[in-house]
Every structure is written in structure tokens, then in C-alpha cells.
Chain A
Amino acid sequence: MKVKCSECDAQINVPDDVVSGEIVTCPDCGLNYEVVKNEDGVTFKPAESIGEDWGE
């Protein structure tokens, strides 16, 4: 699957077995996208940035 980065227009190659909640990164500008898969198909939304309470 190939999608265009909304930030820099570069092409992002997304593995076919990607699952909802996974992060894909634009190889050119480094923007992270969260994959959302539902009955309407696959969408990519800018991922949340690291919060101070993130981790183990």
C-alpha cells in the first residue's frame, strides 16, 4: 500500500499486514502517522506526540 505524506508529499510504503494502531513514518520528513483501519477502509492520521507519562 502506498500513501502520500500530507506534510511533504513524499510517498510512504505501508506494509500490507499493517494493523490499526500501528505507526508509520514518512521516510522524507519523519512525520509519524497512526494507522486506523475500520469498515470504511484504512486512514492515516498524524500520531500523538510523546507525553510525559508515556512509557512502561
Chain B
Amino acid sequence: MTITLTLLYDRIRWDEKELLNSARSKGLDVKEVDVKTVIFNLNEAKAGEEYGDVVLQRCISHTRGTYASACLESKGVVVVNRSSVSEICGNKLWCTLALIRAGVPTPKTIIAFTPESALKAAEEIGYPVVLKPLVGSWGRMVVALRDREEAEAVIELRSQMNGALNQIFYIQEKVKRPPRDIRCVVVGDRVVAAVYRVAAPGEWRTNVARGGSTEPCLLTKEVEDIALKAARAVGEGVLGVDMMESPSGLVVHEVNSTVEFRGAQSATSTRIADKIIDYAVNLVRR
């Protein structure tokens, strides 16, 4: 029986094209559905049939992707990643809590709910600290605060921004690390690629979206174990686990649920898209 796989998207990038090509080359019946054009009738139980056997959710908008996944799951559709996984990964607090619960080493993190307590949190960690938005990606609005003066200025600006989530202050130690971090692409219970993401000159953030470059990283047992533990902590799936080399060992700062793998692909000969498609197919073949 031919398996039907639906790619749910809102924008087609290199990664999605790679996934579509891989799925077609494996002989799957492939559908492409633009999430911006669909509606979900929540009272109609059978409305999920048109999506086939499995949906690969690749929306660039985290909220849209997570909510669409929840609607599809309510109709019995198998979605990769599950909405519960993208919900956790899309919010830095949920993600950090899940990692800590599972015993995964993370940077020291404090949450505060007012500008005043945010300053207290920064003092408690000790400067320099990093202030991150709860939701967001690509290093957007992630700022390093070197001293109290900078912290006061940035926290005041943040407190005047719209949106309830901007009033939650997620403050983390600025880990003393080399100018790079490690990105592991985890598919199910396997690390399919590990790369260093090296910060661009003059930039401390390592995000590829910030000009960071990728270099091959030897997958040691330690890196592999921590990556798999972090992936299990958020509920497993197709994930990008990011970790830093701190003086006291590896710490995981983020798990991404719509992993962008173009950078990682350039540093490995394993075809990452093939691993992702195989994983999705095996979920429904079992």
C-alpha cells in the first residue's frame, strides 16, 4: 500500500523542497497543503482523511503550526511533530522546564514577572546574563547584558513592548563557551547530524540566521547521549537540539521542533531529509 504523506507548510524553503524531493524519490504519494488556505471544522470527525497517513508539519509560524497540528490530531491524523512537542519547544520556559525535569543539564535560568524582579534575577545569576524572549527564533531579541546599567535600559524597553509574553523575563547565565555551539539534528531515537554553529565575526549569537556558519562536529558519546535525552524530554520527534560547551560540561539551551537543516546538511554526507521521511513513514507503518 502506498503511503500518503502531506507536507503542511506556509512557506516553501530549501528544507521543505528537500523533504518533498526525498518523499517523492521514495515513491510516497505526496500532498502539499498550504496552512494559510485550510480550515478545520472541529465538529466533523472524518475531516482528516484528505491528509492521508501522516502529516509533516513544517510551518514557519510556530503558532500556526502547533494549532494546526492539534486540530489534525483531533481527527486522528498522525502529525510529525506532535502538537505537544511543538508546544513545548516553541516556548523557552516550557522547554527549559521539560529539560530540567528530565535531568538534562541546562544553563542557569531564572524567570521573573516584573522589570524590578528581572533586575534582581540578573543580579542573582551575576553579569553578564542573557535575556531571551519566551517565543521566537533565529536569535531575535536575544540580548547579552553586561552590567546593571545595560540591564536596566533593556529591561525597561522590553517592559514597554506590547504582548503579555514580553512581560515575562527569561534570564540566563551567559555561558563561557567558545564562539560556537553544537546543533544536533535528532530524528526519533537517532542523532542524524551534529555540527558546530560558529558565530559570525563581531556577533556572539551562533544562529545561522545571524550569519553563523556550520562546521562538522564529531558526534561523541557524550554529545549523543545528551541530545537524545533532550529529545526524549520534549516528547521525541524531528528535533534540533542546541548545546553549549560550558566549563563544567555540555548544557542544552534549546530544542527546536521545526528544525532547519540546510546548515547541518552542508556538513554531513547523511541525507537528513531521507531520515526524516523514513521516520514519518515508519510511524504509520508499524
Contact = CB atoms under 8 A, between A and B. Distances in A.
B138 A56 contact: yes
Interface of A is mostly: loop
B17 A56 contact: no
Contact of A53 (B11, B12, B63): B63
Contact of A56 (B63, B137, B163): B137
Contacts, number: 59
Interface in A40-56: 47-48, 51-56
B5 to A, nearest CB: 16
Nearest to A32: B11
Contact of B32 (A20, A51, A52, A56): A20
Contacts of A51: 61
B256 interface: yes
Interface string B16-36: 110010000000000010100
A19 B90 CA distance: 28
A20 B32 CA distance: 9
Interface in B219-271: 240, 256-260
B16 to A, nearest CB: 7
Contact of B34 (A20, A52, A53): A20
Contacts of B60: 54-55
A56 B34 CA distance: 18
A56 B259 contact: yes
Nearest to A52: B136
Given A54-B60, A56-B240, A56-B257, A21 B90 contact: no
B240 to A, nearest CB: 6
B9 A56 contact: no
Given A55-B138, A56-B137, A21 B257 contact: no
B197 to A, nearest CB: 12
A22 interface: yes
A34 B10 CA distance: 10
Chain B, interface size: which category? 20 to 34
B64 to A, nearest CB: 8
A7 B34 CA distance: 25
B133 to A, nearest CB: 8
Contacts of B281: none
A47 B60 CA distance: 13
Interface of A: 19-23, 34, 47-48, 51-56
22 contacts: A19-B20, A19-B32, A21-B10, A21-B11, A21-B12, A21-B16, A21-B34, A22-B17, A23-B12, A34-B11, A47-B11, A48-B11, A53-B63, A53-B135, A54-B60, A54-B61, A54-B62, A55-B137, A55-B138, A55-B140, A56-B138, A56-B259
Given A21-B16, A53-B61, A54-B137, 17 more contacts: A19-B20, A19-B32, A20-B32, A20-B34, A21-B9, A22-B11, A23-B11, A23-B12, A48-B10, A48-B11, A51-B61, A54-B60, A55-B136, A55-B138, A55-B258, A56-B240, A56-B256
